Structure 1
Amino acid sequence: MADWRVKSLDSILATAEKKSLTRSLGAFQLTMLGIGGIIGTGIFVLTSEAAQLAGPAMLLSFVIAATVCGLAALCYAELASMVPVSGSAYTYSYATFGELMAWIVGWALVLEYAVAASAVAVGWSGYAVGVIQEFLGYELPFALTNGPYAGGLINLPAVIISIAVTALLVVGTKESATVNAVLVVIKVAALTAFVVLALPAYNAENFVPFMPLGSTSAITAASIIFFAYVGFDAVSTAAEETKDPQRNIPIGLIGSLVICTVFYLAVGVGVIGSYGAQPVGIIDGTAPYPGTPELVAACNADTVASVVCSNEALAHVLRSIGHPGVGNLLGLAAGFALPSVILMMMFAQTRVFFVMSRDGLLPRALSKVHPKFKTPHIVTMITGAAVTIGAAFFPVGQLASISNGGTLCAFFFVALAILVLRRTQPDRKRSFRTPAVWVIAPAAIVGCLVLFAFLSWTAIVFFFAWAAIGIVFYFAYGRSRSNVALGIDGVSELDPDIPPQGVPPLPGIHTPGGKDA
């Protein structure tokens, strides 16, 4: 296994024990963290994208996406309780499949978090534009609120919020558990208000036809609406800061997922029942894909103001069914709450980069800390620049699909890792054991592969291109410079009792002591 460079779990756990943060988070805080990460652009914005792909059948899409995430969450729960350290899927893959696979997963997580932040920024822009128009009576120029895909020049509000969040991260401003809990309450209250007002306007006729684009349309929509659940895995990245992680991490993972699924289904029924969610531009059983010029043209020709054409779907529905004031307040709530999701995604992205840099797989300059602000400013600014570019020029649906490619890759390897560790380390302590693991984990693997296959062609090509770039970078840089290649670990020089990484240095590689390995 030396050629695979598997980092031993004992070394990972020993390193985490020496460098771990203060354990202060309980089950409630973790559940709030999960809900805060999950509820965002997915439900506030992508509801319209899912409606364009599946119509009322998007309810099945929520169920399909939740099922795949639930299966993955059960796998995450066992691994997080067994290896309660930072790094999430990247760390699990390093201990199971070795360095190359860990690199691929870490590279995919970069895709997940950075592109997700861009998608949320675009989603925030839609609500911000609506709030400015409704509260201030000023309509921002179309060319400055839409990218080239919609006939505009640049999504300026998305650029502004991306730069603002980057600046906050650089100077060290971050969410506290209290602030996060308040923002969660705001988002949950907004969704609750929507459900309470929308369900009484229910009309069964709005569900007909239920599948206007065919039986597979629900899976296609699930490949995008899957983005609405991304964020629960962020709970596992807080493992080193959690009290009794073996108990509380599974509660946080599964609890937040269940609560959000109930909300999503209720919101979906409210949208369809009260207003309708039929696709526009249907010709010969097909409809334009979200985020394309064809859909923009179809929406411009639509005289009904379909929900699929709105950049602020939930607020649009409330205004249309006679609750403009609450609709405006919901838009305002989204405007306040969504930046916290951008912050969390970018923070998670910098943390993944930081861990990979600490392991030597990325340039160590990326983990440099600002002398005044004490933050990893270099990697934060690089991440912020990438997020800003994505938010400025690309549609939310395509960004969500691209982000989902990275997420599905990570989930795939987590499900695979749990099966491998059950075989290779059956006696290691597992405070939480995934039930029926030989059914749950393979089902999660199949689910990830199916949803990946239904992603847009652009997202699939982008994923493999991104993976190819990552592999080239690994062999050109990380393979010869990683801590495992050099035979060192993060704290062995401080404490000789910490186990080694498990593999010797590569021949011809100079160790820190100056001797040829």
Structure 2
Amino acid sequence: MANETSRETGLRGVLSLPQIVSLYIGSVIGSGILLVPGLVAEKAGPASLIAWLVMSILVIPMAITMGLLAAKHPSSGGVSHFVRLAFGDHYGNMVGWLFLLSVPIGGPVLAVTGARYVAAVLQWGEQQVYLVATMILLVPLLMNIIGLKLAGRVQTIVITLILSVLLLAIGAAIPHYAPANFTPFMPNGWLSVLQSAGLLFWCFIGWEAVTHLSAEFVNPQKNAIRGVMWSAGIVALLYFAVAFMTVATHSYGRDLSAASLSVMVQKSLGPIGGWIVACAALFICFAAHNAYSSAASRIAFALSMEGAAPKWFGILHRTYRTPIGGLAFIGAGNILGLLVLYNHVISLSDLIVLPNATFVATYIGGCLAGVRLLRDSRVGKVAAWISLIVTLGLYPFLGWSALYPLAIVVILTVSRRRKLGKAELTG
């Protein structure tokens, strides 16, 4: 273990269990909770709740796999560190880059999604949307310069607000519950339920992100698995409750599905419900970006320490000992992503599939590492195999976006061979 932690003596253990749980929840609950319940209800009807239940169960092995790996091998390298231990430096660095190149693209998608919910209430135009989006991106980066202790505390407050708002939304919908909304139960057949389960996978991606912060956990051997189990339970219950009330109040269909949460809340609270959802969207997107920017800056630091990324990626702040080089890279990528979206070079729906694909590829690498590294744990071994089968089964259905991780792998492989060739010539 000494060899694993010796490279990370510059990072401090500052994250307590409540902050770990908050970071996990923030990384998993993204904009999907605002969109997906209505979309899958429209696709599969009330039977979509079967898909929610199945995915809520399947997500537990994924969470356990990442939690056990983080507890056994805490490192700012996260999943890339696990893959490095299992298969060597080249594959570890490859997975690290897959994760790192997801966040500068995913950040703008989150920020613009949250900003548009706020803009819809205030009737703002595109310029105001992107101004708010810029703030959603920059504030977490600035907090992370000061350190994870501050970022963790703010995350705990934000997650508390998110949970409060979503619980209020669920409670407000209860008076409009109607048993008739559950019939017909399966209007579009079993195939629609299976298709919904595939779509729901996106709502549960995020367990890999916080593993990159495990070197800064207080007592990671205990708190890593505790944190992931608490957050997995909370996330599964919250998602299912929102999905159940979406169906129970029939807050979907026609033009309602994309804003089902807002429709559901406004049935009891009227226009104030729009404000509630706007606040929830803002908090959710802020929390997710906070978790992912924290994680990505640590993987940038770890890759730099391995010599697999530019040296400036590994620059730490003199006072706070935070990876400002990695944060600078993420910030630059975020701004570039916003400019691309603002100038309509690519649409939001087309951009979002790219980080989704790299996250799935990252999961595949982490699950493969779990199969090898958790062989001495019966629970860990079973969890890793189940997670691997689920993620491998999903990958062919990613469509054209599946080429993005493959392109990254090809570029890294060619670059490595060139370096080895030059080393042989100079040697």
TM-score of the superposed pair, with normalisation by structure 1? 0.72
Aligned-partner SS, 1:40:
coil
Aligned alpha-carbon RMSD (Å)? 3.2
Q: Which runs of 5+ in 1 are unaligned?
A: 1-8, 133-138, 145-154, 281-305, 427-432, 482-505, 510-515
Aligned residues: 419
Residues 412, 351 of structure 1: CA spacing in aligned structure 2 closer, same or farther, 3 A cutoff? Answer: same
The residue that corresponds to 2:338 in the other structure is 388
The residue that corresponds to 2:216 in the other structure is 241
Aligned-partner SS, 1:104:
helix
Percent identity of equivalent pairs:
21
Q: How many Å separate the matches in 2 of 1:319 and 1:128?
A: 16
Q: Among 141, 165, 168, which residue is 1:169 paired with?
A: 141
Q: Among 426, 451, 458, which residue is 2:394 paired with?
A: 451
Displacement of 1:259: 0.7
The residue that corresponds to 1:122 in the other structure is 112
Q: Which amino acid counterpart does residue 388 of structure 1 have in structure 2?
A: L
Q: How many Å separate the matches in 2 of 1:209 and 1:454?
A: 28
Q: How many Å separate the matches in 1 of 2:246 and 2:313?
A: 44
Q: How many Å separate the matches in 1 of 2:374 and 2:292?
A: 31
Residues 64, 122 of structure 1: CA spacing in aligned structure 2 closer, same or farther, 3 A cutoff? Answer: farther
Answer yes or no: is the 8 Å Cα contact 1:128–1:331 preserved in 2.
yes
Displacement of 1:268: 0.5
Deviations 1:365-400 (A, max 9, x none): 333467899722641333223442565445555544
The residue that corresponds to 2:384 in the other structure is 441
- Whose Rg is larger? 1
1:301-312 alignment, distance < 5 Å: 306-310=255-259
Displacement of 1:454: 3.0
TM-score of the superposed pair, with normalisation by structure 2? 0.85
Q: How many Å separate the matches in 1 of 2:421 and 2:42?
A: 48
1:57-68 alignment, distance < 5 Å: 57-68=47-58
The residue that corresponds to 1:80 in the other structure is 70
1:37-186 alignment, distance < 5 Å: 37-132=27-122, 139-141=123-125, 144=126, 157-158=129-130, 160-162=132-134, 165-166=137-138, 169=141, 172=145, 175-186=150-161
Displacement of 1:274: 0.9
The structure with more helix, counted as a fraction of residues: 2
Displacement of 1:189: 0.4
The residue that corresponds to 1:484 in the other structure is none
Deviations 1:269-288 (A, max 9, x none): 1111113434x5xxxxxxxx
Q: Among 394, 413, 422, which residue is 2:365 paired with?
A: 413
The residue that corresponds to 1:367 in the other structure is 314
Deviates more, 1:74-83 or 1:257-266: 74-83
Residues 422, 124 of structure 1: CA spacing in aligned structure 2 closer, same or farther, 3 A cutoff? Answer: closer
Tell me if 1:228 matches 2:203.
yes
Deviations 1:130-169 (A, max 9, x none): 221xxxxxx335xx3xxxxxxxxxx862465146624762
Q: How many Å separate the matches in 1 of 2:98 and 2:339?
A: 19
The residue that corresponds to 1:15 in the other structure is 7
Q: Among 391, 402, 407, which residue is 1:460 paired with?
A: 402
Q: Among 165, 190, 203, which residue is 2:165 paired with?
A: 190
Residues 179, 438 of structure 1: CA spacing in aligned structure 2 closer, same or farther, 3 A cutoff? Answer: closer
Q: Which amino acid counterpart does residue 400 of structure 2 have in structure 1?
A: T
Displacement of 1:43: 0.8
Aligned-partner SS, 1:232:
coil
1:316-395 alignment, distance < 5 Å: 316-321=263-268, 323-368=270-315, 375-376=324-325, 378-389=328-339, 391-392=341-342, 393=344
Aligned-partner SS, 1:454:
helix
Q: Which amino acid counterpart does residue 78 of structure 1 have in structure 2?
A: L
Answer yes or no: is the 8 Å Cα contact 1:38–1:231 preserved in 2.
yes
Aligned-partner SS, 2:218:
coil
Displacement of 1:186: 0.6
Displacement of 1:414: 2.0
Displacement of 1:346: 2.6
Q: Which amino acid counterpart does residue 365 of structure 2 have in structure 1?
A: F
Q: Which amino acid counterpart does residue 312 of structure 2 have in structure 1?
A: A
Q: Among 205, 216, 223, which residue is 2:191 paired with?
A: 216
Q: Which runs of 5+ in 2 are unaligned?
A: none
The residue that corresponds to 2:242 in the other structure is 267
Q: How many Å separate the matches in 2 of 1:480 and 1:361?
A: 16
Residues 197, 21 of structure 1: CA spacing in aligned structure 2 closer, same or farther, 3 A cutoff? Answer: same
Q: How many Å separate the matches in 1 of 2:16 and 2:92?
A: 29
Answer yes or no: is the 8 Å Cα contact 1:118–1:390 preserved in 2.
no
